[in-house]
């Protein structure tokens, strides 16, 4: 992969910093209202969900604890998920009897989340809900019940606000689309 250029490589902005900020505030308010009087465990899926998790937790006004998991899908390519999931980092604390929300960056085929939902259900939480910043429904292979959704996006590979291409572009503050020649580059 050639050296990334965080300005020149971006074909366009799909969701701006301002749109993200406004929607995260709405999601935080909605979650706070829905879980009023309860405590919530937010489980973020590294690394792509990191900025969303950091912003969302501060938009929630009820008590939360956080935990982090890291998974990798293997057997796929840089832009295609395979559905074979390996847990690189597991939960630090028990979620037995807790209200749990998975905080995801993006749902594409749904295979990764489908695996995670089944895995976390097996740990006996009181409730388990899904919050994702982005939904790309065009390529869905398994049905995923999304409880809180930031934005529905078209079938394009996006980067920024935590999302990477070859581990780069995660630090862009918006959701953007890469120029096709970036993928074509050897
Ligand atoms: P799924 O298993 O739903 O197909 O894929 C989920 C994971 O694939 C996401 O958590 C993310 O890491 C990656 N992914 C899916 N679509 C995109 C995309 O458009 N851009 C980036 N950077 N990653 C994506």
Asked if the structure places residue 21 within a domain, the reply is: yes
Closest ligand 1 atom to 104 CA: 10
Asked if the structure places residue 166 within a domain, the reply is: no
| Distance from the first to the final alpha carbon of the chain | 6
What CATH number did the domain enclosing 33 receive? 3.40.50.2020
Q: How far is CA 165 from CA 45, 50, 53, 104, 178, in A?
A: 17, 15, 20, 17, 9
Ligand 1 centroid, distance to 93 Cα (angstroms)? 26
Q: How confident is the model at residue 70 (pLDDT cuts 50, 70, 90)?
A: very high
Task: Write the residue with the smallest CA distance to atom 10 of ligand 1.
Answer: 106
Q: How far is CA 112 from CA 34, 43, 65, 87, in A?
A: 26, 14, 23, 11
Weakest mean pLDDT among 6-20, 38-52, 78-92, 158-172: 78-92
* Interstrand relation of 99-107 and 84-89 (parallel, antiparallel or unpaired): unpaired
**What is the extent of the structural domain holding 144?**
17-73+82-157
Asked if the structure places residue 11 within a domain, the reply is: no
Which distant-in-sequence residues (6+ apart) come within 8 Å of 38 by Cβ?
62, 99
55 is catalytic: no
Closest ligand 1 atom to 112 CA: 2
Ligand 1 centroid, distance to 37 Cα (angstroms)? 34
The share of the chain scoring above pLDDT 90, in percent, equals 83
The answer on pLDDT for 44 being more than 70 is yes
**Per residue in 50-60, pLDDT tens?**
999 999 999 99
Closest ligand 1 atom to 163 CA: 22
For the chain, what is the mean pLDDT?
93
> What pLDDT was estimated at residue 80?
65
Q: How confident is the model at residue 37 (pLDDT cuts 50, 70, 90)?
A: very high
Q: What is the total count of domains within the chain?
A: 1
**Per residue in 129-176, pLDDT tens?**
999 999 999 999 999 999 999 999 999 999 999 999 999 999 999 999
Q: How far is CA 14 from CA 101, 105, 169, 176, 178, in A?
A: 26, 15, 14, 5, 10
The answer on pLDDT for 79 being more than 90 is no
């Amino acid at each position: 992969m050639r050296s990334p250029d965080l300005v020149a490589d971006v074909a366009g902005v799909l969701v701006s910093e301002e749109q993200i900020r406004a929607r995260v505030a709405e999601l935080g308010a909605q979650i706070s209202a829905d879980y009023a009087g309860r405590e919530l465990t937010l489980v973020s899926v590294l690394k792509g969900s990191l900025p969303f998790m950091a912003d969302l937790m501060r938009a929630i006004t009820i008590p939360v604890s956080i935990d982090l998991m890291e998974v990798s899908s293997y057997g796929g390519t840089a832009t295609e998920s395979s559905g074979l999931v390996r847990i690189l980092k597991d939960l630090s604390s028990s979620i037995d009897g807790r209200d749990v929300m998975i905080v995801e960056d993006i749902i594409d085929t749904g295979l990764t989340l489908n695996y995670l939902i089944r895995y976390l259900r097996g740990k006996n939480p009181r409730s388990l809900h899904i919050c994702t910043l982005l939904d790309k429904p065009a390529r869905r292979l398994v049905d995923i019940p999304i409880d809180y959704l930031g934005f529905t996006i078209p079938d394009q590979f996006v980067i920024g606000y935590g999302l990477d291409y070859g581990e780069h572009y995660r630090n862009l503050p918006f959701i953007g689309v890469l120029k096709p020649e970036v993928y074509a580059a050897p």
